[in-house]
Chain A
Amino acid sequence: MNSLSKSNLGIDMNTLNQGYYFQSILQEVANNHLMTPEQIEKLQFSLLDLMAKEVERYTNGESSSVPIEKAQELLQSITYLIGAYLKTIPDLQTILEQLRNETMSVLFYRGLDVTAKNKKEAMLVMEQLQRNDRKLASIAYQDSIFEGIVKFFHDYNIEYGSHDIPGSIDYPLLVPMEEYLGVEFILRYLSLLCMEDSILNKFEADPINRLIHCFDREAEHMLINLCELVLINAIGCVMLKKDYTVLTLTKSDLVELQNILSGRNKEEVRSLLKESLSQLMEELELNEEQSSYLRVTIPELTERLWNNVNLKTLERFFIVVDHDWVILEEFYEGSPMEDDKLREFILLLNQQATLAAKVTLILEQVRSIIDLTLLLEECFYPEEYAKIYPLLGEEEIKVLKKSILLEAGSISLEDYEPQTEWQKQLLLYDC
């Protein structure tokens, strides 16, 4: 429908504030002189009458006055409910007829019905989301669906606090939501979350979880949008004409991407991004609603991608998924050996004739970073470290360096003074 049609009296309905819809309409009415002063006065009296009744109902008829804060809440709830009903009317002409001919009480009770219906619909969407048995690694997502929104439905007061959003909704959406209030916010949030879920469902859970893990070891606890992570890497894969379903981009892939994107101006980067997204959407067989939702992200993604291309920091935009690294790091997260077993292992290690044999034995049998660092400390001479590190391999070096990083805490590695010789030499060692 054309929002600027004749029935809307030249007012763009899309520019009206969705959270304060009724007030927004009244503002337009006043600016464009769409009602006579008598009609406005009648409307004001009707609203005043409704407000007085609501205060009486709220106080159980025990008080004719309320604190200003409470009155503000009640009035906001009333205007929200009237707005909720007015939103169901498609054109401004009919809205004006309603405002002229009906009392505010009638519109208020109709708004109550609309909001109750919205609440019911939102509960159905929530149940649908809760039934989704695919658990992705995001605590914020699980908390929002299973706790925050449940609390909203428990605490939501449809009459006196219809504009409120009780409960806690932490998980961010791919496209931030603005303006909406009350159950409309929740309904919209849940519907968009459902849509994001349906997009994520086009991918296997393992690649997504690996991607999250590679984004940050603590990503599970972070307030990040999973759909965004997946979308970005999938676009990267499409740009490189790789299999997008695995969501894997390596360091060399980023170099290639840098080559593709360098030398292009911002508009060209945007075009490429848009083209890749369109191709991805086509291959994922997304419907129009899903596609237009993802298209909204193009300007923001273009901005970020453009900046990172110029700064040559594509690893801040795309996520490098180094398959082996993930496995190896998890591999060294095993439990340390029992004391007896460790003693036996050290004896065995000392019996080995060469350094290479010792390192091979370590690579074969050690499963914990604690054991690895202990063996480096106890079983080798300082002059041997320089020869050991090349034998250990790049990934083990990464794990060991990360252990130093963790030990250093907030101190930068340049300022950190390692406690042991293997640490000192490792920091000097450049793989």
Chain B
Amino acid sequence: MNNQFMFLPVMLMNQQTVTIIRDCNDYTSRFGLKLSEQEILELVENRKMVLEETGRIEFGGGIIQKLIMEFADSVYVNQQDYVEILNELQECFYYFKKESLEEISDDELIGLMKLYYDEVCHGSIEFLRSSMLENYCRDIRYRTKDYQKVNGYEDDYTDFLDWDEKKY
């Protein structure tokens, strides 16, 4: 009775995710974004790997569907790097979900990622990961900012705008 998950159909869970991602193409195609079958499988495989690395387990369609829908209208997402961006965003999400000690919900984290990605990082996932989200999660861990306020990140965002204006 050691393997508690032996009764759960893991293969079927992945199959379910493939179908959900495929359905997203209908919505994203209006932004010129589409995932091929091969790319979908790559995303699912990457999700499996990231979940294992972060020691998590996910039920339902998972977060990938939400990420696709949220980032579809971003000006920094294009068909050429689409699957790569989604893979990195997925990795970012699970990493910071863990780093934030589960203090923020899925929707809040995705909303935050989108805002930083578009408004502050201008499409740089490296910046998003190494600076913005890292700082935010540190604030959560050390309780240094009023992160629980939904609009809390707006201060950071304003700071960055000020910094930009001063410099240039």
The reply to whether chain A is a binding partner of chain B is yes
Q: Are B57 and A45 in contact (CB under 8 A)?
A: no
Q: Are B56 and A23 in contact (CB under 8 A)?
A: no
Whole-angstrom CA separation of A23 from B98 in the bound complex: 30
- The yes or no answer to B106 lying at the interface (CB within 8 A) is yes
Q: Which residues of B contact A47 (CB under 8 A)?
A: 7-8
Whole-angstrom CA separation of A405 from B60 in the bound complex: 69
Q: Which residues of A contact B105 (CB under 8 A)?
A: 59, 61-63
The size class of the interface chain B forms with chain A is: 20 to 34
Given contacts A62-B105, A64-B62, contact A41 B4 (CB under 8 A): no
Tell me the residues in window 56-86 of chain B with beta carbons closer than 8 Å to chain A beta carbons. Answer: 56-63
Q: Which residues of A contact B8 (CB under 8 A)?
A: 44, 47-48, 51, 75
Q: Are B97 and A62 in contact (CB under 8 A)?
A: no
Q: Are A65 and B62 in contact (CB under 8 A)?
A: yes
Question: How does the 8 Å CB contact mask read for A316-360 relative to B, with 1 for contact and 0 for none?
Answer: 000000000000000000000000000000000000000000000
Q: Are A41 and B106 in contact (CB under 8 A)?
A: no
Question: How does the 8 Å CB contact mask read for A32-59 relative to B, with 1 for contact and 0 for none?
Answer: 0000000001001101100110011001
- The yes or no answer to B142 lying at the interface (CB within 8 A) is no
Q: Which residues of A contact B107 (CB under 8 A)?
A: 62
Q: Which residues of A contact B106 (CB under 8 A)?
A: 62-65
Majority SS of interface residues in chain A? Answer: helix
Q: In the complex, how many residues of chain A place their beta carbon closer than 8 angstroms to a beta carbon of chain B?
A: 29
| A51, A55, A64: most-surrounded residue (chain B CB, <10 A) | A64
Q: Are A52 and B59 in contact (CB under 8 A)?
A: yes
Residue of A52, A64, A72 touching B4 (CB-CB under 8 A)? A72
Q: Are A66 and B12 in contact (CB under 8 A)?
A: no
Question: How does the 8 Å CB contact mask read for A2-30 relative to B, with 1 for contact and 0 for none?
Answer: 00000000000000010010011010000
- The yes or no answer to B168 lying at the interface (CB within 8 A) is no
Whole-angstrom CA separation of A64 from B56 in the bound complex: 10
| B7, B51, B98: most-surrounded residue (chain A CB, <10 A) | B7
- The yes or no answer to B163 lying at the interface (CB within 8 A) is no
Q: Which 10 A-B pairs have the closest CB atoms?
A: A62-B105, A52-B59, A65-B58, A44-B9, A71-B57, A20-B1, A72-B4, A65-B56, A52-B60, A75-B4
Given A48-B8, A56-B60, A65-B51, 8 more A-B residue pairs with CB atoms under 8 Å apart are A45-B12, A52-B59, A52-B60, A62-B106, A65-B62, A66-B56, A68-B55, A76-B4
The 8 sampled A-B contact pairs (Cβ below 8 Å) are A23-B1, A44-B8, A47-B7, A47-B8, A48-B13, A66-B57, A67-B55, A67-B56
